[in-house]
Amino acid sequence: MADALDRLEIPYTCHKVVPFVGELTPVPMIDDPNAVVMFGSYTLWRYAQAKDLKPGVFKIRPFVQEKPWHPFLLNGADALFLTLRDVPEQLRDDGKNWFLRPVEDSKEVPGRVMTAGEIIGLANKVLALTEHEIPKGSLRHDTELMFTEPVRILKEWRLWVVRDEIVTFSLYKEGSRVVYRHEIDDDALEFAGALVMANPDYSSAYVVDICRTDHGLKMLETNCINAAGFYAADLLKLVSSIDAFSDGRVRN
């Protein structure tokens, strides 16, 4: 991204986030608080909010709660939702495999497939801690989790959406292989466009991940654009589209 910013002659500065405090070092010198976009950690939204920086970080709502997208979700209709504290009592330890991820775009645990026993064991470890013993950004007693049946995925793509327009995309997985290529199948791009149109104004800018399965194209999830990996996206296009927010007229 720094290379793209340099090529487009857009000024930027680099900072470290102070753990647990959330402050930035060195302290940024900001000329116009209405022309600031922050990329890096998802937790930067707290700093942006505290300093009233706009657009700052483009926050998103949990995608599983967006009804217009329910027909397109991968196993969305059959998902099980439990808070971590409810897992030991309500999830059967029957050896079944589950794909789990937090409902919020918090990255408290990466989305992955685990057995019921592994999930219960993880929950018990966290529940053995008091709330004040759990570091910020980690699984907590009240973290809501989404559980779905594992599905064989053939390809996975990430698309960057700015003001309800897809500005760039990247293939990031093919079967079990991680591959980063700036390409997308025509029907996948059309499918992603339909997702955007089905739920306009979801966020001023966000990332949507889609996949091809044995049963067709499906929506995987959305992510905060400020903290999502770039893979093989066209960063010149992405940076140009985000820079257009410098006028401060944003929806979130």
Considering the chain, what is the average pLDDT of its residues?
A: 91
Alpha helix (H) residue ranges in 56-185: 87-90, 116-127
| Global confidence as pTM | 0.83
pLDDT per residue over 140-164, tens digit each?
999 999 898 888 999 999 999 999 9
Residues 96, 41 share a domain? no
Enclosing H/E stretch for 60: none
pLDDT for 249 beyond 60? no
- 85 within domain boundaries: yes
Do the domain assignments include residue 66? Answer: no
**Which residues form the domain of 129?**
75-148
Q: Which residues contact 198 (CB under 8 A, 6 or more apart)?
A: 68, 69, 72
Please compute the mean of the pLDDT values over residues 132-144 and round it to a whole number.
87
Q: Hey, CA dihedral for 230, 24, 106, 165, is it positive or negative?
A: negative
Q: Is 223's pLDDT higher than 50?
A: yes
Residue 76 is predicted with a pLDDT of 67
* pLDDT the model gives residue 106: 66
Q: What is the CATH number of the domain that holds 232?
A: 3.30.470.20
C-alpha–C-alpha distance, residues 164 and 202, integer Å = 8
> Would 62 be classed as within a structural domain?
no
Which pLDDT tens digit goes with each residue over 26-84? 999 999 999 999 999 888 988 999 999 999 999 999 998 899 999 999 876 678 889 99
User: Which pLDDT value is given to residue 53?
Assistant: 94
Q: What is the pLDDT of residue 37?
A: 94
165 and 239 in a single domain? The answer is yes
What is the predicted pLDDT for the residue at 20?
65
Residue 63: predicted pLDDT: 92
Mean pLDDT over residues 110-131, rounded? 92
pLDDT at 118: 95
Where among 89, 114, 148 does a domain terminate? Answer: 148
The domain that holds 110 is classified in CATH as: 3.30.1490
pLDDT in the model for residue 195:
98
State both tokens at 51.
């300093």
| pLDDT given for residue 109 in this prediction | 79
Residue 242 in any domain: the answer is yes
Task: State the average pLDDT over residues 118-138.
Answer: 90
Q: What CA–CA distance (Å, rounded) separates 14 from 205?
A: 22
> Total domain count for the chain?
3
Tell me whether residue 237 is exposed, middle or buried, using C-beta atoms within 10 angstroms of its C-beta: 0 to 12, 13 to 18, 19 or more: middle
Residue 250 pLDDT exceeds 60: no
The answer on 242 and 180 residing in a single domain is: yes
Give residue-wise pLDDT tens across range 172-211. Answer: 999 989 999 999 999 999 999 999 999 998 999 999 999 9
Residue 252 has pLDDT above 60, yes or no: no
Query: In this model, does residue 8 exceed pLDDT 70?
Result: yes
